[in-house]
Structure 1
Amino acid sequence: MTAGEALLEVTDLRVRLGGVDVVDGVSFALAAGERVGLIGESGSGKSLTALAVLGLLPPGARVTGSVRLHGAELIGGSDRELSRLRGRELAMIFQEPSTALNPLMRVGRQIAEPLRLHRGYSRQAAARAAVELAAAVGLPDPQRLVRSYPHELSGGQRQRVCIAAALACRPALLIADEPTTALDVTVQAEILALLGRLVAEAGTALLFITHDLAVVAAVTRRLAVLRHGRVVETGTTDDVLRAPADPYTRELLAAARLTQWDLPTVDAAAAPSERGPDVPSPASRAASRTGR
């Protein structure tokens, strides 16, 4: 991929907190409509990389390098400039929907808010669109549900609300940071299928952050493996999971086989046709855990 083809281009990104480089020279790119995963254990710098892209790093963070969206540099942009992009060109789904939603605001208003802020919808038009978006993400009885408050919904329903709000303006790039970790495994599979369908319909690029290798196998086409704030391996998802080149990636795969799900035995010397069966999807994991 050349720079001219990249929707998002991250180059030598560094984030320093408390005198420590917690993101240390990260580089990757996404094309329009592409799905890329960032994987690694807790503390590897995945979420901080995403927050740096959005300009939402905590106070005291020092960021250097380059983050370009549509060729325009985001590092060093003003809060006003970045606020105009968030929701319109960039959107994010967070791990815990309960904390992502305002508990004092009806969910319909929260879905509609990006449309009023970024698209200039009237209150009535935004309200109608919120019902349509609620239906699009599979929420039951959307006319009634949009009048509910977050605490009246289940965890899976709250995450559907977050997805609806994030995709309301059809952003060019959606960042999903562990969006199903807090959910039951069966609901997780439903949310992942929904997210995949909606980003495909909208033509939205997806940067998917997770520690779950089964999820990244089901959702992404390329991935980058982070360790201690550095990218240690990149490639197509299939190639990296079946024939990892870096010892850390092999450790992640070994841990996944022991603690989460069955993976084909990795043989770095094997030809692609010799590397075992397809990686199981989250749906198959859900079925195996519930005895279906």
Structure 2
Amino acid sequence: MLACLLVQVAQAVNKGAEHIENKSVEQKIEKHTEFVVENGKTIVLSTTMQNPKPIMFNKRAYQWVAHPSDTTKKIVILAIPYHTKPSIIALESGAKVEVVQGNYKKESIQVSQSKAKPNPKNQERIKRERDEANAIYSNYSQERLWDSAFVLPMQSKITSSYGNARVFNGEIRSYHSGTDFRAAIGTKIFASNRGKVVIAKERFLAGGSVVLDHGEGVFSMYYHCSEIKVKVGDIVEKGTLVALSGATGRVSGPHLHFGILVRGAQVDPLDFIAQVNGLFASN
């Protein structure tokens, strides 16, 4: 008889980004139970099964890994890509996870024309930097480097949320793949958790960039920095100073763009933190 599947449900409470409070409820998934998650969000499932089968989603196999605070369970982190169409994910227990369309907004941003419509030379640079990053993201550390709850990289007001359609100079160009924090040039940026520095350089769109590999396919991103304080290969602890905020890359003003990527999917970082931190709050 199959053991019980459990889902970790957590909610972020953001008061001016001063802190994130986690409220966690662990629920038993009975057969035919259905859970709902928006595109661009994260759902963390846990199980007491000894050898659960990988979950197949988006043409990828998501393996179950050790629970960070409960040795009797295994977890799987499902990151739902932003462009995922409404769909159903079937679980081994017979339960289902339904993916629905999130209610994301639209925002207009004025940037220099050279950033809004890069010339052929810069387009080639963008492609080269994107390919380089994708190669790094596909070769993540198999070891889990994060060892505790995640934290925000700074305490500041959120000026732009994840998922908003980005209208640059009157034309929709992309969606917002992270969360922006108000930050004057030179504001300190801290590592959200323990990880390995895999990108630390200036890039055309992201500007001064730091990316940390936290293991098991989880990365955190810190963009538009004015100064980088770490180098590729460094292992940094949670709360380590990694950079200073700036106005580099494609921006309309100084701020920090903070992102989370899981197995190639850029998801809402505040939601990700709430879901993962719930694993610690419930034990």
TM bucket normalised to smaller:
under 0.3
TM-score by length of 2: 0.26
More strand by share: 2
TM-score with structure 1 length normalisation? 0.25
Q: Which has the higher helix share?
A: 1
